Amino acid sequence: MLLITGAAGFIGGNFVHHWFESSSEPVVVLDKLTYAGNAATIAAFLKPGHCELVQGDIGDRALVARLLNEHAPRALLHFAAESHVDRSIHGPGEFVQTNLVGTFGLLEEVRAYWTELSGEKRDSFRLLHVSTDEVYGSLSDTDPAFTETTPYSPNSPYSATKAGSDHLVRAYHHTYGIPTLTTNCSNNYGPYHFPEKLIPLMILNALDGKPLPVYGDGKNIRDWLYVRDHCEAIRQVLERGRPGETYNVGGKNEIRNIDVVTTICRKLDALRPRATGKYEDLITYVTDRPGHDRRYAIDPSKIEREIGWQPTETFASGIEKTVRWYLENDEWIAGVRSGAYRQWIQTQYGHESRGPGV
Ligand code: NAD
Ligand code: DAU
């Protein structure tokens, strides 16, 4: 079986959906169910012996040890993290605790478990650490895309803690021989994405007739990957990745934020037109994110060459699916937009609007 951390969140949740499309191998999910975790995302699969959800902290070492010894997983997939850059700017403490200290605790318990394994079980065990392209820092418009040998240069508290966790994973392979795999992926989008991130925030604000807050000049670039393509990359790296290696995962979809937002607006104009005007009328430029990375871009040559993975969705096909999903899933959306969510929106956007056209 697989032990998966953070699978009540966006990518881990999509991974569980993806996993059970082609496998009946059982899964145990360890998730703290923070504001970003939502049991509803994987509720359809929850059944003893098939998919079990244990609410707990990756930093609870006794719990992690118990789960490893009770279930004897052939792999641990580590998605759990504090993941939102803006929140890390407001309060980095939780990021250090979960992403760095939590990952350290997890590694220690995996070391204890793996050391006691023998033969084939020991050789075939994998710890797959899900990380981000943000560890490489920011690119100019003309810099080449990130490769696996690009020096780390994290700029936000979030990316600094992810970089630290990557280094710990690397060290546990190098020093203790733990068969680790690390993936560094670009920006994901798709179903079950918590609406504090750019794409779901824009879709839901637009549908509510609220301002669409674009940071700075809107020309920052991200490399967008449909979440199911990321999940398939993780599945393939788990099966075919070489222990100790890292793999960059990206969609070859470099797009400026303002173009992402206008694409969403036009899609909504077609699928659910406003009574008056266009959705683009709601675009509002706001104060920039402090330390805002200008551009991310992934060179996925290594995963293409060694693993044979390729993305299947273009941005056009992926955003169509994503917008339709948000139009059709009111219940999930209502569930995640709780009081705590409204409080975050007030903290982050309450007084920031500089008005359209700036
Ligand atoms: P998310 O914020 O949607 O989900 C994180 C999940 O982790 C939630 O279910 C949350 O409850 C859980 N969690 C948080 N702290 C925990 C703790 N201490 N113990 C146990 N569970 C805890 O994040 P996501 O977007 O699904 O990202 C998943 C992973 O992928 C993260 O490691 C992130 O750094 C990485 N990543 C994300 C993206 C992206 O675009 N979203 C891209 C590349 C890599
Ligand atoms: O690159 C991978 C990373 O992508 C992951 O590691 C992170 O977990 C994930 O959150 C994401 O980070 P970003 O900071 O790139 O994503 P976010 O959706 O927060 O922002 C995308 C871009 O849109 C970024 O340039 C900031 C901008 N933005 C974001 C928000 C929330 C806006 O212009 N307005 C907004 O309201």
Q: Is 257 in the pocket of ligand 2 (CB under 6 A)?
A: yes
Name the closest-CA residue to atom 10, ligand 2: 84
Whole-angstrom distance, CA of residue 230 vs CA of residue 234: 6
Q: Do residues 291 and 220 make contact, with C-beta atoms less than 8 angstroms apart?
A: no
Q: Is residue 287 part of a domain?
A: no
Q: Which residue in the block uniquely carries the two structure tokens 């099966």? A: 239
Whole-angstrom distance, CA of residue 281 vs CA of residue 284: 8
Q: Do residues 293 and 137 make contact, with C-beta atoms less than 8 angstroms apart?
A: yes
Pocket test for ligand 2, best of 85, 223, 284, 315 (most atoms within 8 A of CB): 85
**Number of compact structural domains in the chain:** 1
Q: Give residue-wise pLDDT tens across range 286-331.
A: 999 999 999 999 999 999 999 999 999 999 999 999 999 999 999 9
Q: Is residue 50 part of a domain?
A: yes
What CATH number has the domain bearing residue 64? 3.40.50.720
Residue 160 half-sphere exposure toward CB, CA atoms < 13 A: 12
Closest CA to 191 of 328, 6, 45: 328
Q: Is residue 11 part of a domain?
A: yes
Q: Do residues 199 and 193 make contact, with C-beta atoms less than 8 angstroms apart?
A: yes
Residue 257 half-sphere exposure toward CB, CA atoms < 13 A: 25
Question: H/E element holding 227?
Answer: helix 227-240
pLDDT at 351: 52
Whole-angstrom distance, CA of residue 278 vs CA of residue 216: 22
Closest CA to 196 of 37, 345, 350, 7: 345
pLDDT at 31 over 50: yes
Strand-pairing partners, residue 181, are 128
Reply yes or no on whether 281 is catalytic: no
Q: Which atom of ligand 2 is nearest to the CA of 223?
A: 1
Question: H/E element holding 62?
Answer: helix 61-71
Average pLDDT taken over every residue of the chain = 96
C-beta neighbour count of 164 within 10 angstroms: 20
Q: Is 220 in the pocket of ligand 2 (CB under 6 A)?
A: yes
Q: Is residue 331 part of a domain?
A: no
Residue 335 corresponds to which amino acid? Answer: G
Q: Which atom of ligand 2 is nearest to the CA of 159?
A: 6
Range of the domain at 90: 2-189+227-250+296-312
Q: Is residue 83 part of a domain?
A: yes
Q: Give residue-wise pLDDT tens across range 212-269.
A: 999 999 999 999 999 999 999 999 999 999 999 999 999 899 999 999 999 999 999 9
9: tokens are 């969140």
Q: Is residue 342 part of a domain?
A: no
Q: Is residue 265 part of a domain?
A: no
Arithmetic mean of pLDDT, 31-59: 97
Q: Is residue 92 part of a domain?
A: yes
